[in-house]
Amino acid sequence: MDVQFWTYLLVGLTFALYIGIAIWSRAGSTSEFYVAGKGVPALANGMATAADWMSAASFISMAGIISFAGRDGSVYLMGWTGGYVLLALLLAPYLRRFGKFTVPDFIGDRYYSRTARLVAVFCAIFISFTYVAGQMRGVGVVFSRFLEVEVETGVVIGMVIVLFYAVLGGMKGITYTQVAQYCVLIFAFMVPAIFLSIQMAGNPIPQLGFGGTTPGETVSLLSKLDGLSEELGFNRYTEGVKPTVDVFFITAALMCGTAGLPHVIVRFYTVKKASAARNSALWALLLIAILYTAAPAVAVFARTNLLNTVKDANYKDLPSWFGNWENTGLIAWEDKNGDGKIQYTGRGPAFEKMPDAPKALPAFQEDEQGEKVRGSVGQRLLKNTPTDNDNELYIDRDIMVLANPEIGKLPNWVIGLVAAGGLAAALSTAAGLLLVISTSVAHDLVKTTFAPNMSEKQELIWARGGAAVAVVVAGYFGIKPPGFVAEVVAFAFGLAASSFFPAIILGIFTKRTTMQGAVAGMVVGLLFTASYIIYFKFPQLIDSLGIPTMANTTENWLFGISPEGIGTLGMLLNVVVAVIVSRVTPAPPQEVADIVEKVRYPRAALGEGEEG
């Protein structure tokens, strides 16, 4: 049975499972729609949190970035895992004790202001849209290859599926769907990793195998990959080239952005009490660690197999997987010297200036009849092949995990399983994000701010309508993404770090932070970070505004900080502005100080038996 059969079978079965769960757990009240009735067991919530957390960026793109960036890619591992620990220990129990549905609820009540709530709603929606764009692109990449449709069509299919169970089930449906999706995605990630670890290192444990030695050889797998990389003109895989300051700022932005992500924070409201929030956070951390510790191994296996396959190879002799991915436009080869061989090299100054991603998905060349044009040796020809002057091959980093089983010649059912896992990862996070958007619109914006007398039925209608609109917008950005999946997600983390994180930390641990200080800090942090990202990542938009632009290169970055790491600087600006403004404005009222006391010391405020 071929790959497409297994893909249709496994993807179809998993989709049927998700839809069945959504129908079974349909939300009948706003409490079930927003926080699943606050009755989710700790283990189930831990699994749902892990699935919500491990998005397409974790499943599809993280190992892909590490496979190309080598040691520099470790910032994603350090930032995301460290950030989750920060969230679990520092924020989750306190926010759960507060007892509200959403982060804007906390911001609005803690800072006693409708303005603060509106700013928080805007931040939540802006961050969630940035994040969900990466998920929709991940869905499109998976469908484009395994269902053999255009990327745009794949995004639309994903929109329909996620809209169905997010709108129907709300948080209750999403929670139990995400439990199933965690099982699918972790199985799909680890099975090929174990296969390849046995094949390439003779060790069934990928976390140990990638640091070992290939059977029958004396050179370690990492040393072999270093040699292959140098031979082709790339940097040594185990040596980083990012400036230390940028490594620090990206890692810090990812860590603090994790702790400020609204779709993860809301998960801790779905359990009965604060102790259950701590337990579910621990379960989630253990479940997340399985994938995160295996990702570097998957990256090494993928990179090694890729270089061995394409190194000075004749195009006509390449295995079928290359042509399959070429048909999606996510691999492109331009025979610049006409020798029929693939020149994949890091040599030459132009390679270092090569953009991280094409500005849009590559488009196939077509003849007058609309047929796709092939080159002299049968390769697909693209209108905008995103290679530089010294390199004939472009590989979209987001395909590495998905293509890895094919490159490693694993069984067809494993390839189909990886497709199902990639979709589970993308759709689980997309659903959580869409719920945040719909909740922000219906609960925080419409009901709390403008229509407090709205009925529960009307609020559910607004929530579901907000999710429907959000899906359409997210789909657009999935078709026209500003970068790779993990790169887009990194922007969302930077925006969360520069806006939400300081407001939450100051709101929990200080009584003196005022409404004016929190609002000013969030606005300054978000505007600074978003402007920096837009300036360097959307040059066409900046040009259209008549603003002079600079290339997205290290020498043009502020203090050597990349757009992925600028959220840390935005966060520091947020704190400074919030503290200064709070010192020159009247202190918060006594009832706000009581709220802080209640959140930080629940037993003292509520009594031993009334926790959260």
Which sequence spans correspond to the domains of the chain? 3-305+411-606
For residues 537 and 597, the answer to whether their CB atoms sit within 8 Å is no
pLDDT recorded at residue 585? 92
Chain segment 77-112, per-residue pLDDT in tens: 888 788 878 877 777 777 777 766 567 778 888 888
Q: What's the confidence (pLDDT) of residue 569?
A: 94
Average pLDDT score over residue span 388-401: 75
pLDDT grade, residue 75 (50/70/90)? Answer: confident
- For residues 282-299, give the mean pLDDT: 88
Per-residue pLDDT reduced to its tens digit, 342-373: 888 776 544 333 334 343 455 677 766 667 77
307: CB partners within 8 A, 6+ apart? 225, 228, 229, 232, 344
CATH among 1.20.910.10, 3.30.360.10, 3.40.50.720, 1.20.1730.10 for 3-305+411-606? 1.20.1730.10
| Mean predicted lDDT score pLDDT of the chain | 77
pLDDT tens-digit map of 523-545: 999 899 988 888 887 777 777 77
The whole-angstrom separation of Cα 174 and Cα 428 is 8
The SS3 of residue 113 is: coil
Residue 578 has pLDDT above 90, yes or no: yes
Instruction: Write out pLDDT tens, residues 317-333.
Output: 888 888 888 877 778 78
Q: Is the pLDDT of residue 387 over 50?
A: yes
Indicate whether 120 pLDDT > 50.
Answer: yes
pLDDT in tens, 480-519: 765 555 556 667 778 888 988 898 889 888 888 999 999 9
- Dihedrals φ, ψ of 398, to 5°? -70, -10
Q: Region 294-313: what's the mean pLDDT?
A: 87
- Nearest by Cα to 292 from 557, 84, 35: 84
Using left for φ > 0, alpha for ψ between -120 and 50, and beta otherwise, residue 341 falls in beta
| 532 alpha-carbon distance from chain centroid | 20
Residue 577 has pLDDT above 80, yes or no: yes
